[in-house]
């Protein structure tokens, strides 16, 4: 055989052997891949609307291991890590041959290990597949795994694995958990000293824990700072300045905000690594601080809850379910924002809204606050005293019970329930009972979230809004009819905005209402500006009585304190809509100057004529206006039966120009859309219809 032919055969054989070896290695690599799936096991996180960590949950092994991306970390820390641990990280493919040769020579020359040769890729292999003891076989496996990892992942992904899994003492893993525990902050902005400490700890995490071995931690940190490669990253003089900074000597608790929302998020999506909420960290933290401070002043069995929502979107921006989640004496694990309790007087604004919309009263209408009997139901005021004749404005501001029941009797309890359902609020009535007058004073069951949702419609200019639950429920404006017509909403808000704040609180430009349930079991306060609604409940989770509590004395100061410290930007209450005026008593039509009732609490029936009834247009009619000969819109004819003249007509709560003694009148609508027509006779009897003008 010729020499060149023999060389060709040998070369071919070598190539075949190498190809076979490569194929075998590739097959082995595929058959025994690195356990990257275990690297994906991280702590579950609950974050606010901006992605800030509200609460983390430990892994099944009890470790705090927070997923870390390069964008979560100060870039200088990453540069220092590479400079200290693996300077050729971006050049090698998992194994640094030069570093291994250097380490071997140092071992031979000194008889001991002087420096290691583990690359960051090899350290990642050890972290995701730990071995019980160090041995040659374990080291070889790390080397192989490092090469496998490099084949599957980018350098950036390998760095992120290290930053997520590096040990920091105890059950802390990853730089985010360590930064939060030792510095109380996310690692996005670290000092040079802080970054150097986080680089140093993983080499010997237990021996260098700063909360237990501060001296060892400081020495290790300074060793990192003194490395020339690290000094090139930090800059001239930074190492000396950083060396004078003390190391933290205690471990802080990781963020644990919004306990009830966080627990609910985990129940809803138990396997998700990140749970996003609509909460805002700054607001949530402020309200929780208020709750902690208030709890110290309350009886050990008394708790409180708060909900703040954005009335324009329905987003819950903060929620405090109890005075303390782990407070057993207060049953802190119970989320009191969702529990049905008696709302006390907090539904009164909605009664007044109906009466104002129907034209039964105006703000300065005189109404009686005297003992009354409504077929056996005898409401009494909270302080057991009576004011006599008061204006409607004063009656609501003073939260007088008898005037509210008089108006509820006039508008009808069922109609109040229908309006609340427009806001998708469903009060719970006693079993098999129809709505009665007692609902006006708290004779139904409602949750704090329900009340906040109802008041959100007032803050949102009458348009109902659905609150989310902070997690998966979609909030948003509820389509359909408004809760009340804009003039009625504005009048209610105008009255509530002028209620004096509780003693010791300053005015905040909010409208608010308080309530106390029967037997001193619940104290409520709900307030709002032009965008935000905050509700406060105080009471015992076991529904026991709390002598001395009240909405005004107990819950309202918490409301004002929480609103002031929440950090939300105040939004002015809405301006009056077109046609909404606060008329003086002398400027009111005669039929609205006094809300007349008889001794039994009903609108007086001592009249010859029956109550008026609108016969045209009928309830629910869709009216198409006709055009005149010159193309102008023709007014709509209004007709009624019964009642005693003179008659006052109102369209959407606004009086028409003149009082008429005739049983027909005319009205020219401003435009298309829903409209409420009301007629009031001389005795104060009223009738209303809802129509749609096309």
Which helix (H) or strand (E) segment holds residue 388: the answer is strand 388-391
Q: What are the residue ranges of helices labelled H in 154-308?
A: 155-165, 175-183, 192-200, 214-226, 228-234, 238-243, 259-268, 281-295
- CA distances (Å), 446 to each of 294, 315, 319, 385, in order? 23, 20, 17, 28
Task: List phi, psi (to 5°) of 228.
Answer: -55, -40
345 is catalytic: yes
Buried b (16+ CB within 10 A) or exposed e, 39-70: beebbbbbbbeeebbbbbbeeeeebbbbbbee
Q: How far apart are CA 241 and CA 201, in angstroms?
A: 20
Which helix (H) or strand (E) segment holds residue 65: the answer is strand 64-65
Instruction: Output the six-digit token pair for 471.
Output: 């997690």
Q: How far apart are CA 303 and CA 558, in angstroms?
A: 12
Pick from 525, 534, 133, 553: which is nearest to 344 by CA? Answer: 525
Instruction: Output the six-digit token pair for 488.
Output: 């009625």
399 is catalytic: no
C-beta separation of 282 from 54 below 8 A: no
* Catalytic site residue from 85, 319, 357, 485: 85
* Catalytic site residue from 345, 447, 525, 550: 345
C-beta separation of 144 from 49 below 8 A: no
Pick from 45, 254, 86, 88: which is nearest to 168 by CA? Answer: 254
C-beta separation of 588 from 365 below 8 A: yes
Which helix (H) or strand (E) segment holds residue 21: the answer is helix 3-31
C-beta separation of 567 from 290 below 8 A: no
Instruction: Output the six-digit token pair for 50.
Output: 């901006």
Catalytic positions, written as ranges: 85, 345
């Amino acid at each position: 055989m010729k020499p060149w032919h023999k060389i060709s055969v040998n070369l071919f054989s070598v190539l075949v052997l190498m190809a076979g070896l490569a194929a075998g290695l590739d097959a082995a690599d595929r058959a025994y891949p690195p356990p990257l799936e275990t690297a994906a096991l991280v702590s579950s996180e609950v974050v606010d609307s901006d992605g800030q960590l509200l609460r983390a949950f430990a892994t099944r092994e009890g470790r705090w291991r927070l997923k870390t991306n390069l964008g979560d970390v100060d870039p200088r820390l990453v540069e220092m890590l590479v400079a200290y641990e693996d300077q050729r990280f971006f050049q090698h493919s998992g194994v640094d041959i030069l570093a291994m040769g250097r380490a071997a020579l140092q071992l031979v020359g000194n008889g001991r290990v002087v420096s290691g040769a583990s690359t960051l890729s090899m350290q990642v292999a050890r972290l995701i597949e730990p071995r019980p003891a160090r041995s040659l076989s374990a080291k070889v496996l790390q080397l192989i795994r490092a090469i496998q990892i490099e084949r599957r992942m980018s350098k950036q992904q390998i760095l992120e694995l290290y930053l997520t899994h590096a040990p920091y003492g105890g059950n802390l893993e990853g730089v985010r958990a360590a930064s939060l525990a030792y510095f109380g902050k996310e690692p996005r902005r670290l000092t040079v000293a802080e970054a150097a400490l986080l680089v140093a700890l993983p080499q010997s995490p237990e021996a260098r824990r700063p909360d237990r071995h501060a001296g060892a931690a400081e020495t290790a940190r300074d060793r990192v700072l003194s490395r020339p490669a690290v000094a090139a990253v930090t800059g001239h003089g930074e190492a000396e300045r950083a060396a004078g900074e003390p190391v933290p000597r205690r471990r802080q608790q990781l963020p644990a905000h919004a306990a009830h929302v966080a627990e609910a998020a985990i129940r809803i999506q138990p396997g998700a690594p990140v749970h996003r909420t609509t909460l805002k960290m700054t607001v949530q933290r402020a309200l929780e601080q208020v709750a902690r401070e208030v709890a110290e002043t309350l009886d050990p069995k008394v708790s409180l809850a708060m909900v703040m929502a954005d009335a324009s979107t329905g987003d819950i921006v903060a929620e405090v379910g109890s005075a303390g989640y782990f407070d057993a004496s207060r049953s802190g694990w119970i989320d009191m924002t969702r529990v049905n309790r008696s709302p006390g007087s907090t539904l009164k604004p909605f009664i007044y809204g109906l009466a104002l919309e129907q034209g039964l009263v105006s703000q300065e209408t005189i109404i009686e606050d005297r003992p009354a009997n409504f077929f056996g139901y005898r409401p009494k005021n909270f302080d057991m005293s009576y004011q006599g004749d008061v204006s409607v404005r004063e009656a609501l501001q003073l939260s007088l019970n008898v005037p509210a029941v008089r108006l509820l009797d006039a508008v009808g309890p069922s109609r109040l329930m229908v309006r609340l359902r427009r806001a998708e609020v469903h009060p719970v009535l006693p079993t098999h009972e129809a709505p009665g007058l007692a609902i006006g004073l708290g004779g139904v069951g409602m949750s704090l979230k329900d009340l906040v949702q109802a008041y959100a419609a007032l803050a949102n200019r009458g348009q109902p809004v659905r609150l989310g639950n902070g997690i998966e429920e979609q909030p948003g404006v509820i389509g359909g009819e408004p809760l009340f017509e804009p003039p009625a909403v504005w009048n209610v808000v105008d009255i509530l905005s002028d209620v004096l704040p509780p003693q010791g609180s300053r005015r905040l430009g909010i409208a608010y209402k308080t309530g106390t349930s029967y037997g001193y079991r619940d104290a409520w306060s709900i307030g709002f500006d032009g965008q935000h609604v905050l509700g406060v409940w105080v009471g015992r989770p076991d529904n026991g009585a709390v002598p001395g509590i009240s909405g005004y004395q107990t819950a309202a100061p918490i409301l004002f304190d929480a609103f002031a410290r929440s950090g939300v930007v105040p939004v002015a209450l809405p301006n009056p809509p077109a046609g909404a005026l606060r008329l003086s008593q002398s400027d009111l039509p005669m039929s609205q100057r006094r809300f007349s009732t008889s001794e039994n609490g009903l609108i007086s029936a001592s009249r010859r004529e029956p109550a008026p009834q609108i016969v045209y247009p009928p309830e629910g009619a869709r009216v198409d206006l006709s055009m005149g000969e010159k193309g102008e819109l023709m007014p709509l004819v209004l007709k009624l039966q019964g009642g005693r003249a003179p008659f006052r007509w109102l369209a959407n709560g606004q009086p028409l120009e003149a009082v008429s003694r005739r049983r027909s009148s005319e009205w020219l609508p401003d435009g298309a859309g829903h409209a409420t027509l009301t007629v009031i006779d001389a005795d104060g009897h009223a009738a209303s219809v809802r129509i749609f003008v096309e």
